[in-house]
Amino acid sequence: MKANSMTRKITLAAVFSATLFLATSAFASDSKAHDEHAEEKVMHVAKVPFGDPIAGAAKVATCAACHGSDGNSANPEWPNIAGQHPEYTYEQLKMIKDGSRSAPLMAGQLNNKNDKDLKDIAAYFAEKESKSGEANADTYTLGQTIYRGGNTETGVPACAACHGPSGKGNPMSLYPDIAGQQAGYVLKSLNDYASGKRNANAQQKIMKEVAALMSDAEKEAVASYIRGL
Ligand code: HEC
Ligand code: HEC
């Protein structure tokens, strides 16, 4: 694709995405079906080529042991990486590789991977379908309240404001897709942000501010709610 037409596409995508973002925020209480429809449009418009998924397929053999052969992990403590925005996955892989994000179980996994490999791997998993699970019925109402509206008393913002009403995130802003993410991993991530363990860059500092305001009960409830999205 020619550079100038690419730039136009990206600019258009940014405008569309910003507009729809405002629209979805303003009507966050609308029906789920409506919200999902709006988000699908964002995803469609914002899609730009990133890495080569076919080349990526040859570089992921060792990942399956923990993340599943299709990017859906079988362990609630280990993240699903299927269907994730490739831009976000690529950023995380770079940080895990250079050690600025701690992931002890992944030690050595990325040693012989270059920058193109990381993009291809990100593109490969982006094309896989992510699977969700069941939210805990006992904490569903609290989880949904926090997710959609935050906690006005303590200042916790609504997760939906950045991750979208159905958890699909926003690739233009590197807001990850968290729909259906493993609950144990979400809880661990919230604790790691709050404690500063995951605090290497400006993106992570956004989540530190969010997570530091949350009670343990709120973190657990919202993690379970997200698993069910
Ligand atoms: C032995 C288990 C194991 C293997 C093998 C492994 N991972 Fe991981 N991976 C993890 C764990 C555990 C985490 C979560 C780290 C944390 O707690 O923050 C993780 C995190 C990630 C993340 C960040 C996910 C997110 O949502 O932020 C990506 C991306 C990732 N792994 C990709 C890979 C790729 C690609 C491979 C293969 C080259 C791989 N992993 C191999 C266990 C593993
Ligand atoms: C102002 C925007 C914003 C708000 C509000 C927000 N997030 Fe995030 N979230 C982010 C960004 C940016 C990241 C990526 C941080 C990084 O790179 O580690 C993120 C990452 C995450 C992750 C890690 C995902 C992964 O795959 O590792 C989880 C879990 C998460 N957010 C949950 C929440 C929850 C729960 C709430 C509501 C209580 C929330 N977020 C509110 C912007 C936001």
Atom of ligand 1 minimally distant from the CA of 181: 26
Ligand 1 pocket, 211 CB below 6 A?
no
What is the spatial distance between Cα 25 and Cα 214, in angstroms, rounded to a whole number?
21
- Cβ-defined contacts of 99-108 (< 8 Å, 24+): 100/200, 100/201, 101/198, 101/200, 102/197, 102/198, 105/66, 105/78
Ligand 1 pocket, 57 CB below 6 A?
no
> How many C-beta neighbours within 10 Å does residue 138 have?
10
The string of pLDDT tens digits covering residues 184-211 is 999 999 999 999 999 999 999 999 999 9
At 49 the pLDDT is 72
Contact (CB, 8 A) for 210 and 156: yes
Q: What's the sign of the alpha-carbon dihedral 119, 121, 122, 126?
A: positive
The string of pLDDT tens digits covering residues 106-123 is 999 999 999 999 999 999
Least Cα distance to 169 among 126, 121, 106 occurs for 126
Quote the tokens at residue 56: 């990526």
What is the spatial distance between Cα 70 and Cα 216, in angstroms, rounded to a whole number?
31
The string of pLDDT tens digits covering residues 35-89 is 444 444 444 444 557 899 999 999 999 999 999 999 999 999 999 999 999 999 9
Q: What is the pTM of this model?
A: 0.85
The string of pLDDT tens digits covering residues 9-26 is 333 333 334 333 433 443
The C-alpha angle 188, 213, 43, rounded to 5 degrees, equals 65
Higher pLDDT, 92 or 45: 92
Residue at 152: amino acid letter: T
Taking the mean position of all CA atoms in its chain, how far away is CA 223?
Answer: 13
Atom of ligand 2 minimally distant from the CA of 81: 26
| Full set of structural domains in the chain with CATH | 3-48+132-227 (1.10.760.10), 53-126 (1.10.760.10)
At 11 the pLDDT is 36
At 17 the pLDDT is 41
Is pLDDT of 214 > 50? yes
User: Quick one: CA torsion of 158, 159, 160, 162, rounded to 10 degrees?
Assistant: 110
Residue at 176: amino acid letter: P
**Average pLDDT taken over every residue of the chain:** 85
Mutate to test the pocket of ligand 1, among 78, 87, 198 (most ligand atoms within 8 A of CB): 78
Least Cα distance to 189 among 172, 209, 208, 163 occurs for 208
Quote the tokens at residue 75: 């362990």
What is the spatial distance between Cα 107 and Cα 101, in angstroms, rounded to a whole number?
11
